[in-house]
Amino acid sequence: MRKFVAGNWKMNGLRDSLENIAELATAHARARIDIMICPPATLLSKACEINGSLKIGAQDCHSAEKGAHTGDIAAQMIADCGATAVILGHSERRENHSETDAMVRDKTIAAQSAGLTAVVCIGETLEQREKGETLNILKTQLEASIPDEVDPDLLVVAYEPVWAIGTGKIPTREQIAEAHAFCRSTLLERLGSSANNVPLLYGGSVKASNADEIFALQNVDGALVGGASLSPTDFSPIIHALEATV
């Protein structure tokens, strides 16, 4: 499996930020890993016009093919821009837009039907971790957010503890390794050996200073990076750290 590092720009970036994508594309033209930027929807089309091997993804899609859904974006529209992936079920969507596992599952079906890779995000809150519920939460989210008919070749799973996102707090190596091993075995039970090829990304306060440690862990196949993906100066060392593992 190719390792995978994705930058989630969230609601950040104007047209002049496209320069950052061009800079990354040049700096990592011969990368031995998959690198993706998920800019806001307004920049998707332009970002896809930048030459290079960088992948471009969206941050969400609607589950319907088309129709009366003001403000929403269909998976096929994302593919039509030239993007190849979409982040689904990010904790900020789950929290700010009350997205449920069932909604994420329907979006995953829509994304894959449009030929997009679905980057499905799961993760526990601090309260759930403190109550010892982490693995149960991950199991439920994996079962309910990933459809039975999933195409494992178009699936990436991101483990993102909600309490580690944008906080600078990071789980211990043991906690990350435990969660990733659990995700792998749960996916293996569900999907069979093809689950070995589903990249498992860690997300939550990944920075150049902790990337080496995180990428050294078993079953960590890359990262979903928020804040540190906004500038090439911060993101490039993370890309290099992952590349050093292959």
* Active site positions, annotated: 90, 160
Nearest CB to ligand PGA, comparing residues 155 and 162:
162
Nearest CB to ligand PGA, comparing residues 128 and 210:
210
Shortest distance, CB of residue 221 to ligand PGA, whole angstroms? 15
Binding residues among 102-161 for ligand PGA as defined by CB under 6 A: 160
Binding residues among 180-239 for ligand PGA as defined by CB under 6 A: 203-206, 224-228
User: From start to end of the chain, where are the E strands?
Assistant: 4-8, 34-38, 55-58, 85-88, 117-122, 155-159, 200-203, 222-225
Shortest distance, CB of residue 5 to ligand PGA, whole angstroms? 11
Are the C-beta atoms of residues 144 and 120 closer than 8 Å to each other?
A: no
Nearest CB to ligand PGA, comparing residues 123 and 147:
123
- When binding is defined by CB under 6 A, the residue of 3, 4, 5, 8 that contacts ligand PGA is 8
Nearest CB to ligand PGA, comparing residues 76 and 237:
237
216-to-142, 144, 157, 176, 211 alpha-carbon distances in Å: 24, 29, 18, 11, 9
Are the C-beta atoms of residues 235 and 25 closer than 8 Å to each other?
A: no
214-to-37, 89, 109 alpha-carbon distances in Å: 20, 22, 30
Cα separation, 48 vs 157, in Å, equals 23
Shortest distance, CB of residue 167 to ligand PGA, whole angstroms? 7
Q: Tokens for 162? A: 């909600």
Shortest distance, CB of residue 67 to ligand PGA, whole angstroms? 29
Residue nearest to ligand PGA (CB): 226
Q: Helix, strand, coil proportions of the chain in percent (round to 5)?
A: 50, 15, 35
- When binding is defined by CB under 6 A, the residue of 95, 166, 192, 218 that contacts ligand PGA is 166
Chain contacts with ligand PGA (rule: CB under 6 A): 8, 160, 165-166, 203-206, 224-228
